Amino acid sequence: MEKKCSKCKQIFDESNFEKDNHIKSGLASQCRSCKKLYMKDFYQKNKNKYYQDYRQKNREKILKMGKEWRDRNKLKCSVYSKDYHEIHPQYHKKYNNSIKAWVVRSFCGHKKRGFVVDISVNDLIERAENTNECPRCGVKFDWKNGRHLKNWQMPCIACLTHNQTLTLENIEIICKKCNTQQNNDSLEEFFSYCRQFINLYKEHPLIKK
């Protein structure tokens, strides 16, 4: 049997129409070609709305799925990242030398060590932009070479308490050397250690008065 398409007005065999139980005849009113064009046009006009709504409603699910996929495909991610950096060296260099890159790396490193990060990226970027030198020793920060292990001018996030939650109130941006000396002590314990060290230094018999 044949049927007329309500869109293009052409007559086709019933096999050229999709099934639709909401219509009495049991077949869609538009032919497959017209229905396909309609759905494609509808998607282009509304994809941003539906995409954003879906991401907002399923944010935790999407993050979990992304993390599970990266855990299963670590080698693939590593190869892709390496290839991308070789193809786009200028972008990689520009990003790697920025404060934003340091903030992202710092957050990832602290989360891996079990810290809860209760600071937004933008808030820490603003704090970093207003901190040009270490408040403890006065050394100028080197944001460009932050990945180098031997660079003592590399900025680090120091937690002022033993609390495993990082907030703007309990962190300080200091140089790598000061952070290494402090180790896992709180700021009060670190200063107490420094006072003991200074007293021992003054009383040492080999120190010239």
H or E element: which one contains 190?
Answer: helix 187-203
21 and 104, same domain (yes or no)? no
Question: pLDDT tens digit string along 111-122?
Answer: 888 889 999 988
Q: Report how far apart, in Å, the C-alpha atoms of 23 and of each of 19, 26, 40, 202 are.
A: 9, 5, 22, 95
What is the per-residue pLDDT across 73-82, written as a single tens digit (0 to 9) for each? 989 888 887 7
Q: Which domain holds residue 97?
A: 88-203
- Quickly state the pLDDT bin for 175 (edges 50, 70, 90): confident
Whether the pLDDT of residue 14 is over 60: the answer is yes
How deeply is 68 buried, as exposed, middle or buried, from its count of CB atoms within 10 A (0-12, 13-18, 19+)? exposed
Number of structural domains found in the chain: 2
The answer to the question of residue 181 being in a domain is yes
Q: What is the pTM of this model?
A: 0.47
Is 83 part of any domain?
no
**Residue of 101, 94, 178 whose CA lies nearest to 136:** 178
The answer to whether position 172 is within a domain reads yes
Q: Mark residue 62 as left, alpha or beta (left: phi above 0; alpha: psi -120 to 50; beta: remaining).
A: alpha
